Amino acid sequence: MRYFLIGIIGILCFFSPISLYSQTNNKLWGGLEVGYGISLSDNGKLYDTSYKGNNRMALSSIRGVFGYYIIPSLSVGAGIGLSSYTKPQLNTIPVFLDFRFHPLPKNTDLFINADLGHTIATSESDSKGKLIAELSIGYNLFRIGKLSIVPAIGYNYVNYSISYPDNDGIKSSFSQHRNSIFLKVGIIY
């Protein structure tokens, strides 16, 4: 829990200078997103052996994202966050690229969001992060000055490997992946 709070404070400190600059620049934006998801499938040899395949993971996350509109309908950015998966408990720090596309030229409230990145750290010494990917669709509900409240629904994929000693004492590694549907709410400035 202590590392989770330190991470949240670090994310907020990192994005504070960006938020000040983005208030005067309409192309630069930043935001804080909080999300929750439920696993669609939990599979993998080690997972089925350890958890009998009937457990379902939940995903919760908090992320800081900033981006720049290279054209009015396309934004490219980057982000960092904290994600927590249950059953088994696994906390990760994902770093990712963020792409936002507004498909309707006259309506900039609707957007499609794609994130692609890597997990740079995990809470377990026997787990190693790999690929993360997300695809979501969101809508800008309302604006209060330069702040926007933006909910989104989407799909999350995470891949990681787990190492453990087998019967002979030799370390083996199995790749695990999780597919989740999530709902997130962002405050964008």
Instruction: Give me the number of domains the chain comprises.
Output: 1
Q: What is the pTM of this model?
A: 0.76
Tens digits of pLDDT across the chain (189 residues): 455 555 555 555 555 444 444 444 678 999 999 999 988 765 555 444 455 555 567 889 999 999 999 998 999 999 999 988 776 677 888 999 999 999 987 777 899 999 999 988 676 666 677 889 999 999 999 888 888 999 999 999 888 777 766 677 667 676 777 788 999 999 998
In a domain, 46, yes or no: no
CA distance 142 to 26: 17
In a domain, 40, yes or no: no
Q: Which pLDDT does position 53 carry in this prediction?
A: 52
In a domain, 38, yes or no: no
Q: Which pLDDT does position 144 carry in this prediction?
A: 87
Q: Which pLDDT does position 154 carry in this prediction?
A: 96
Q: Which pLDDT does position 20 carry in this prediction?
A: 42
In a domain, 53, yes or no: no
Q: Which pLDDT does position 100 carry in this prediction?
A: 95
Contact residues for 189 (Cβ-Cβ < 8 A; gap 6+): 19, 22, 23, 29, 30, 31, 146, 147, 148
In a domain, 178, yes or no: yes
Backbone CA torsion sign across 42, 38, 9, 67: positive
CA distance 94 to 129: 9
Q: What is the DSSP letter of 124?
A: S
User: Beta partners for 174?
Assistant: 162
Reading phi first (left if > 0) and then psi (alpha if -120 to 50, else beta), residue 46 is in alpha
In a domain, 51, yes or no: no
Q: Which pLDDT does position 22 carry in this prediction?
A: 42
Contact residues for 53 (Cβ-Cβ < 8 A; gap 6+): 42, 43, 47
In a domain, 42, yes or no: no
Copy the structure tokens of residue 26. Answer: 């309409």
What residue numbers bound the domain in which 142 lies?
A: 2-18+27-32+58-77+84-91+104-188
* Amino acid in position 123: S
